[in-house]
Amino acid sequence: MKSVKVVGLLASPRRYGSSFKGLMLALKAAERFGAETEWYHLYQMDIKPCLGCVSEDIKACKYPCIIKDDMKKIYDALVNSDGFIIATPVYWYSPSGVMKNVIDRLTALENMIHIDGHSWLDGKVGGFIATGNDSGAMFAIAQLMSIMNSMGVVIPPWSMAYTNELGDPLENSAFVTDSLNVGRTVVMMIKAMRGEKVDRWYDPELYDWYEKELKEWLINLVKEEEAKAEKPWKDPNWLNSK
C-alpha cells in the first residue's frame, strides 16, 4: 500500500507553545490514521524573503528558487508529501511574518505552472492551525486557505483548529479535538482521493484517545522542549547566531 506522507510547518518562535501543541496533536492523529510525518521549525531555519522575480519575468520564478537557503528543505519536503499542516501563532490577525515569508517563497512551486504546466503543490492536502489569545484566528485561517487553494491545494472538511483566548490550549477540549481532527481529515482526504470510503469527516471521540494515550506524553514533551529552549527573549542574540 502506498504510504501517506504529511509535513508539519511550525511558524512560532516557540517549540513548546500553543502552535506547537496543536501541531503535535495533528501529527499524532495523522500517524494514527496511517501517515508518516516530519515537521520543520521555521524559526530555526534560514529562510530569506521573496524577491518577487515574477514581476520581472513570469518564468524567472521556479524551483529551486535562486535564493540558496533552508527553503530548499521545505520545497523538497512538500513536493515529496501528500499533504501538510501549517501551525502558526496569530500575530495581528495573520500568520507570523516568518510564515508569510515561507508563503511568498512557495511561489517557486506554484509558478511551475508556467514552466512545466502544473503547480507542484497541485492536489496536496492542507490543514491549518492558528493560535492566539485574542480575535483574529479565522482571519488568519481564511488567508491561509485562500492562498493555499490558489496554489492548487485541497482543503478537506473541518481543516482548521484555533484558539482565541488566554490559557493553556490543552485545557481547551475543542482545540484539542479540532487539532486532532486536522491531522485526521488531511489523511482521510488523501485516502479518499485514493478511493477509500470516508464515513465521517470529524470524529469527536478523538478527544478520548487524547485523554487516555496522548495527554501525558504531550505534557512531558512540552516540558522537555521548554527546558531546553534557548529562550530567545532572554537572549536576543539567539536569532542572530543562526
User: Cβ 83 to its own copies, closest distance in Å?
Assistant: 12
- The span from the CA of 228 to the CA of 25, in Å, is 20
Q: Which neighbouring-strand residues pair with 10?
A: 41, 87
User: Cβ 65 to its own copies, closest distance in Å?
Assistant: 8
Considering beta carbons, is residue 27 or 153 the nearer one to its own copies? 153
Say how far residue 183 (Cα) sits from the centre of its chain: 10
Considering beta carbons, is residue 13 or 183 the nearer one to its own copies? 13
User: Cβ 155 to its own copies, closest distance in Å?
Assistant: 4
Considering beta carbons, is residue 76 or 232 the nearer one to its own copies? 232
User: Cβ 11 to its own copies, closest distance in Å?
Assistant: 10
**Spatial strand order in the sheet of 4-10:** 35-41, 4-10, 83-89, 125-132, 160-164
Say how far residue 101 (Cα) sits from the centre of its chain: 14
Considering beta carbons, is residue 25 or 189 the nearer one to its own copies? 189
154, amino acid identity: V
240 — phi, psi (to 5°)? -60, -35
Considering beta carbons, is residue 174 or 219 the nearer one to its own copies? 174
Three-class SS state of 40: strand
User: Cβ 68 to its own copies, closest distance in Å?
Assistant: 7
